[in-house]
Amino acid sequence: MKFFADTAEIDEIRELADTGLLDGVTTNPSLIMKSGRDIKEVTKEICALVDGPVSAETVALDAEGMIAEGRELAKIAENIAIKVPLTWAGIKACKVLSGEGRMVNVTLCFSANQAILAAKAGATFISPFIGRLDDINLDGMELIEDIRTIYDNYGFETQILAASIRSVNHIADSARVGADVITAPPAVIKKMVAHPLTDKGLDAFLADWGKTGQKIL
């Protein structure tokens, strides 16, 4: 499974990138706004920090506008994945941009039918939003399972990018049902290491080590 960080905060991305665990980054207009930075400036900086795909989102509502914005964003760096919404205009834009050999991330997916259209349009990534489905009492993980089954049935190469990750359980569950990628806030990714029994065991080891009076360095 690939790990993408869902943020536009440079310090958070750098910390994860230094671990060697980070495979890419996703941004969106809300994250750009939160960063307080110019979209092209901050996206270029992110692209220099990671080798993998960096999703930069268009904001136009019509296909022609999305295509034009996507081409402009793609000039930032070779690892840009152009992000378009799962609307009819977004599907049209995806078909054109993917046909030009560009990576395209089709976002805001909430149904298997939408995911089929994105794959048919040549999307590199499809981004089902798990947490937002959970918010309305639907099982976001069932959507991941459905898309996995459909894509495997027909050999679609579009990667399932589980988004709207709210907890470490979302990450483990996404891996269990076959998502190719997860994108999550850095804080959630870092929480994956935490377990009370790890802390308890480490405390016990250190207590015993202290009794020996030894030093390694």
Q: Which residues contact 23 (CB under 8 A, 6 or more apart)?
A: 2, 3, 4, 50, 52, 181
pLDDT category, 148, cuts 50, 70, 90?
A: very high
Q: List, in order of start, the domains of the chain with CATH numbers.
A: 2-212 (3.20.20.70)
What is the tens place of the pLDDT at every residue in 2-61?
Answer: 999 999 999 999 999 999 999 999 999 999 999 999 999 999 999 999 999 999 999 999
- Closest by CA to 162, choosing from 104, 89, 78, 105, is 105
Query: Among all chains, which residue has been given the structure tokens 């996703």?
Result: 26
Mean pLDDT of 138-161: 98
By CB neighbour count within 10 A (0-12 exposed, 13-18 middle, 19+ buried), where does 141 fall? buried
State the DSSP code for 101: T
State the DSSP code for 124: S
Q: Which of 34, 83, 120, 191 is catalytic?
A: 83
Residue 130 and residue 76: Cα distance in Å, rounded?
29
What is the tens place of the pLDDT at every residue in 80-109?
Answer: 999 999 999 999 999 999 999 999 999 999
Instruction: Pinpoint the alpha helices (H) of the chain.
Output: 10-19, 29-35, 39-49, 63-74, 88-99, 112-120, 130-135, 140-154, 168-177, 186-191, 196-212
Mean pLDDT of 200-210: 96
User: Which pair of structure tokens corresponds to residue 131?
Assistant: 């947490």
Task: Clarify whether 75 is annotated catalytic.
Answer: no
Dump the DSSP string for 9-27. Answer: -HHHHHHHHHHT---EEE-
State the DSSP code for 110: -
